[in-house]
Structure 1
Amino acid sequence: MDEKKKKLGFNIIKKTDPMANHKGFGKGALSLDNVSPVIIDVEAGDAVIDIGAMHARSAVEKGIKFLANKEEVPNGKPYWLVWVTIDRHEEGPYYAGVTACYMTVDREIRRGFKSLPEHVNRMDKSLKRHIIVADMDDKSKKILADFLKNHNEVLWNNSTDELKQGLNAE
């Protein structure tokens, strides 16, 4: 490969970056300032924000080799990785994109199941303001709804009916 050629890469630019409005090479870079990964532990019944999940390095994922076949991890503990994007409209800030991805982890054998393409695509869908929570079980939906309400009531109150109905919260 010619070393002088510019490499196209995945650019993450902060909103305050002076290059954010430039029109040159790398235009159209993606900002991840307003997206957060939330990990739901289904069995424990809790949810936490774990920024490490942005690079598949959350506390749940560390030290685990992920396989693409669910049957290879029969005793996996269920988790949901939920991409939550925040935006602002006329009423104020709100949860604009919420997309969930399933995964399992078996700490004993240090293996887990997840579909990496699905995780990447769902993060993209969240950034594009989609709500995709239909795959979640009712217990997980309640955990997520309670977490989002308790995390920031204003964001929750300003959110769409699509989100609230999707999480059976209305």
Structure 2
Amino acid sequence: MSSDQSSNQKKSNQFTIIKDDPNDGHGGYGVGAISLENMSSVIIDPNEDRAFIDMGAMHARSEVERRVKFQNDRDVVANGKLYWIVWVNTEKGENGPYFSGVCGSEIVVDRSIKRAYKSMPEHVTHMEKSLKGKIMVEHMDDHSKKLLRDFLANFEGGDMWANSSDELKEALPNE
């Protein structure tokens, strides 16, 4: 296994936290482009009571998105299972890294017919809002919010959660 492969596997199990700006010091090609370096995707699977980081979602290739054909009509997957892709942005503050933006986007998957539904405009909007430090989880069901809260609060000892805003903690209460 090459060092690139092993570092990619290592990255998939942790949040991406502030990297150096690749455009720092020059004004060339790519300046002003949106950077997704501080964003991670957390999959919430309320069907199996689990939450996990899956960086494949950044390219619509997460575990839950593979081997299905996406439809624009939610009725096609009326018997599907609900999942959430939560776009989590991190930043580094005076007390250390914290969760700055958290926005959940739904996805419904029916494996029996190999079809799935997600609203691409919604996912893109939620990614953008997360990058801007917004918290948007009010549309998620309570069980999924609890799974997300428990995952974030327990991630690497809970320091990032402790450093996060009261707005996030209120949006994902411990109930």
- In the superposition, the TM-score normalised over structure 1's length comes to 0.86
Q: Identify the match of residue 113 of structure 1 among 117, 129, 134.
A: 117
What's 1:79 paired with?
83
| AA aligned opposite 1:130 | K
Q: Aligned equivalents of 1:57 and 1:20: distance in 2?
A: 30
Q: Give the superposition deviation at 1:49.
A: 0.4
- The total of aligned residue pairs comes to 157
Q: Aligned equivalents of 2:58 and 2:48: distance in 1?
A: 22
Residues 1:159 and 2:164 are matched in the alignment = yes
Q: Does 29-38 or 80-89 show the bigger shift?
A: 29-38
SS in 2 for 1:102: strand
Q: Aligned equivalents of 1:79 and 1:52: distance in 2?
A: 15
SS in 1 for 2:75: helix
- In the superposition, the TM-score normalised over structure 2's length comes to 0.84
Normalized per residue, the structure richer in helix is: 2
Q: Aligned equivalents of 2:97 and 2:21: distance in 1?
A: 22
Give a deviation string over 1:65-94, Cα, whole Å, max 9, x none.
111221111111010000111112222211
Q: Does 122-131 or 87-96 show the bigger shift?
A: 87-96
Structure ID, larger Rg: 1
> RMSD over aligned Cα, in angstroms?
1.7
Q: Percent identity?
A: 53
Q: Aligned equivalents of 2:144 and 2:110: distance in 1?
A: 19
Q: Identify the match of residue 140 of structure 1 among 139, 144, 155.
A: 144
Gaps of 5+ in 2: 1-17
What's 2:59 paired with?
55
What's 1:28 paired with?
32
Q: Aligned equivalents of 2:22 and 2:145: distance in 1?
A: 40
Structure 1 residue runs of 4 or more that deviate by more than 3 Å after TM superposition: 14-21
Q: Aligned equivalents of 2:22 and 2:63: distance in 1?
A: 33
Q: Does 15-24 or 121-130 show the bigger shift?
A: 15-24
Q: Is the 8 A contact 1:85 1:127 kept in 2?
A: yes
Q: Does 88-97 or 102-111 show the bigger shift?
A: 88-97
Q: Aligned equivalents of 1:95 and 1:27: distance in 2?
A: 25
Q: Aligned equivalents of 2:137 and 2:79: distance in 1?
A: 24
SS in 2 for 1:148: helix
What's 2:45 paired with?
41
Q: Give the superposition deviation at 1:43.
A: 1.0
Q: Is the 8 A contact 1:64 1:110 kept in 2?
A: yes
Q: Identify the match of residue 105 of structure 2 among 101, 104, 109.
A: 101
Gaps of 5+ in 1: 1-13
Q: Aligned equivalents of 1:36 and 1:52: distance in 2?
A: 10
